[in-house]
Amino acid sequence: AGRTIALERVNAMHISGSTNLVAGVETGFGQFTELPVPTEELACYSQHLIVATDGQPDNRMDYAPLVAEQQEALVATRASLAARVNVTAIGLGNQLDSELLRNMADTFLHMPDPGAVGPFMV
């Protein structure tokens, strides 16, 4: 059921303007504060935030401090270093700012052909 809902939401997305990367990062990290997992069990899970973007955010800034701030807030909220999230940035297309994405994430992947995302994710 969860996979079906996720696919429906992805398929309902549409292109409009530039990427609001700040909101995406903040919303993504916010989801981890709502995990129905006791803090003492967090170490049993692999927590991973995957940011897929065209790499052209509406706000040209260094996103590494934002990610660090979100990490610190999450660790403080859950009172555990096990709450730390691994961040992967996937840059789609050829017009992206790869340095920006590389600096904000633990792992950076470049996918020149956005049409390859579906097979890659499955």
d(CA 98, CA 108): 8
Q: Domain of 12: which CATH number?
A: 3.40.50.410
Q: What is the distance of C-alpha 46 from the center of its chain?
A: 14
pTM: 0.79
| pLDDT tens track for 28-49 | 999 999 889 999 999 999 999 9
| pLDDT tens track for 49-83 | 999 888 888 887 889 999 999 999 999 999 999 99
d(CA 17, CA 103): 23
Number of domains in the chain: 1
Token couple for 12 = 């309902």
Residue 115 is part of which domain span?
2-121
Give me the mean pLDDT over the 89-97 stretch: 90
